[in-house]
Each structure stands twice: as structure tokens, then as C-alpha cells.
Amino acid sequence: MTAWNDFVKKIYHEGHNKDSNYSFKQALKDASARKSEMGKSQSSSTAMGVKTKKSRRTSRKSRKTTKKSKKTKSQRRRK
């Protein structure tokens, strides 16, 4: 989950605990108004050690460089 999704979910649970008719649509509006609070709380997914897209991408690139490249038949014959 993204930080925004976690933040909206938190706002929704706070609102729903106070009022059972509180909707997710209203939570989105409230979260938008309270955006400045979002940076103060850390996302639960990063706290649990879930890899981000960037870290997955870099680890994938490093795997590609370690593999041996396959040579075509014409390249093998040249030697």
C-alpha cells in the first residue's frame, strides 16, 4: 500500500469509530484536507520491510548483469 492509502484508511477508521455512517468518500475528502499530517506518520508497509518498486527494479538489474550472455552461432564461429 502507498502512504496515501494507509493515511486515508487511518482517517476512515477514526471517522467510522465516531460515526457508523461515516463513508470512505468522506474519508477521502477529510484526508485531502489533512494532507500535512500525512508525512508525520510512517507507512505500515515500509515499517514491515516491504520492498519498494525502486529497490525491486535495482535488484532485478543486478541479476541481469550477473547472467552470462548467450552468443549467437555466428559469434561462436568467429573465434
| Domain boundaries, given as residue ranges, for the chain | 1-55
How far from 68 is each of 56, 59, 65, 76, 79, CA to CA, in Å? 21, 17, 8, 14, 17
Please write the tens of the pLDDT for every residue from 20-47. 999 999 999 999 999 998 877 544 444 4
What distance in Å separates the CA atoms of residue 38 and residue 7, rounded to the nearest whole number? Answer: 6
Contact 22, 15 (CB under 8 A): yes
Residue 75 has phi, psi (to 5 degrees) of: -70, -35
Q: Given pLDDT bands bounded at 50, 70 and 90, which one contains residue 52?
A: low
What distance in Å separates the CA atoms of residue 64 and residue 42, rounded to the nearest whole number? Answer: 32
